[in-house]
Structure 1
Amino acid sequence: MTIMRRRGRPLPRPGVLITAALALFCSAFLVLPAGAAPVPYEDCPANTLCLYSGPAGTGERRDFTDRQGVEGYDAAWDDRTLSLRNNTKLWACVYVDAGYGGLLQTVSPGNSDDYAGGDARWVNTISSHKPVPSRAHCFTGYERCPDDRVCTFTQERGRGPMTAHVPATDPVTGNLGNSYGATAAPRSVWNRTGRHVCFYPEPAFTGTWTDGTGRTYGAYVVLRGDSTTVPAPFAGSFRSHELVGGTAECQ
């Protein structure tokens, strides 16, 4: 048998090299633990938004379809989400307040998000979410308002808790509309009726506002079909509104 030598050391035969390589390849599989940890979020089903009570897809899981928008979680889940997987083809909008209000995070289709180790404002504070076709839809909540209603919202751009007002005729004033207390404090409005809406600072469809220049206003008008974020000095001060055929009918 002939053995080739280089620098005084024998070279192994080709068959020896192949055997050694196979041994190394097999040993790579043998060192893997039998109970290897699963990949984070891999348990989230297709077409599902999965919320987790722990970081990186751990803890208890809540599943929602790609058509389920939730304005407020039940008491057992509210303020518990610490991570999520958006395993849908839609954007996921996540909010710290009920009614799609407060701070907002957007999660693109197929991605995940972890809130446990970042901004403290997101740790155990998430209270609502909705799936939408584009990221722009995350920034408004007007779509909740039903037909033939005046809807008022506690936050800008139709976000936050919503009140859908059912018009009624006031027995004293005869105004067709609604009167409400300070707790409503609307900051945005969608008028989905066929009439214009006149808002007032007093419950009896009266009162005036004065702005920083000294000008006085007797009503804040939202035309039929319009939605708006209410500016100062009107924001948060509406106490009643009436439906009218023309803006000249405002008090």
Structure 2
Amino acid sequence: MTIMRRHGGPVRRPSALITAVLALLALLCSAFLVLPANADPLPFDDCPAHTLCLYSGAAGTGERRDFTDRRNAEAYDAAWDDRTLSARNNTRYWACLYVDAGYGGPVRTVEPGGSGDYATGDPRFVRTLSAHKTVPTRALCFTGYERCPDNRVCTFAKPHGRGAMTVHLPRTAGDDHGSSYGPEAAPRSVFNRTRHDACFYPRPTFDGTWTDPKDRKTYGAYVVLRGDHTTVPAPFAATFRSHELVDGTAECQ
């Protein structure tokens, strides 16, 4: 260090190292000053807490629609149907996104706190999503039986309680306490949430039989026990035209 004398007293001059440190600090300060005041938000950063956010663009861009964990939608209105290209799940549940209304068709799942992008990749999910629900476990994304009200028989257009649902109200008078319906309600799965066993028939008149083409055996009523749900196997699937409620399976026609 160089010492200079002035008026008889020594004066110390800052070293080159201190000068370099001061110059570096000045450079860093100037760098912070030129940063943009409003940086672009991170993808999905605008999605509120406790909300499932659906976006019309990739990576959380475009128009956004918000659903709380209590607002499941079996289908979207025409303005939003088939528009979702990305999603952010800020709920504490699993989010299930479906191609078809009524929780039908292929499904994508999004874990709690996770996100999904459907703008590219599997073409089955590009601008095809039409319904969603939030559930406690991922396994429940692949069924839809929970839609069936208590004390009703519900039939579904697709296996595992998915697809369009028909709710059958048990009659309070008459011997059969059942329902007769056309082929438009022919189910591929059933939930019997009544306190009776349900006997299903291939005719609207509460009778008829099935013949299995494999073993040529003939079967009478297809039974779904009280409180049970099932995917209907061949040769019974999509053939039911009526059912009745009974106190025991021996009462089936």
For structure 2, the 5+ residue unaligned runs are 3-14
CA distance in 2, matches of 1:153, 1:134: 22
Q: Aligned partner of 2:244: which letter?
A: E
- State the TM-score, normalizing by the size of structure 2: 0.89
Q: Aligned partner of 2:68: which letter?
A: T
CA distance in 2, matches of 1:28, 1:210: 82
Pick the aligned partner of 1:106 from 91, 106, 109: 109
| 1:74-85 map, 5 Å | 74-85=77-88
Number of residue pairs aligned between Structure 1 and Structure 2: 241
| 1:132-147 map, 5 Å | 132-147=135-150
CA distance in 2, matches of 1:110, 1:66: 13
Of 142-151 and 30-39, the range deviating more from structure 2: 30-39
Q: Which residue of 2 aligns with 1:204?
A: 205
Q: Which residue of 1 aligns with 2:187?
A: 186
Pick the aligned partner of 1:240 from 236, 239, 242: 242
Q: Which residue of 2 aligns with 1:218?
A: 220
Of 28-37 and 155-164, the range deviating more from structure 2: 28-37
Q: Give CA deviations for 1:27-64 in whole Å, capped at 9, x if unaligned.
A: 44345344532211111111111111111111111111
Which structure has the bigger radius of gyration?
2
Root-mean-square deviation (Å): 1.9
3-state DSSP of counterpart to 1:176 = coil
3-state DSSP of counterpart to 1:102 = strand
Query: Aligned-pair distance for 1:19?
Result: 2.4
CA distance in 1, matches of 2:38, 2:250: 76
CA distance in 2, matches of 1:197, 1:208: 16
CA distance in 2, matches of 1:170, 1:76: 44
Q: Which residue of 1 aligns with 2:59?
A: 56
3-state DSSP of counterpart to 1:41 = coil
CA distance in 1, matches of 2:202, 2:222: 9
CA distance in 1, matches of 2:139, 2:35: 45
CA distance in 2, matches of 1:27, 1:42: 29
For structure 1, the 5+ residue unaligned runs are 3-11
3-state DSSP of counterpart to 1:16 = helix
CA distance in 1, matches of 2:19, 2:122: 57
Query: Aligned-pair distance for 1:236?
Result: 1.0
- State the TM-score, normalizing by the size of structure 1: 0.90
3-state DSSP of counterpart to 2:40 = coil
- Check conservation: 1:170, 1:177, Cα contact below 8 A: no
CA distance in 1, matches of 2:123, 2:29: 46
Q: Aligned partner of 1:72: which letter?
A: A
Query: Aligned-pair distance for 1:20?
Result: 3.2
3-state DSSP of counterpart to 1:105 = strand
Q: Which residue of 2 aligns with 1:46?
A: 49
3-state DSSP of counterpart to 1:116 = coil
CA distance in 2, matches of 1:91, 1:218: 41
Q: Aligned partner of 1:37: which letter?
A: D
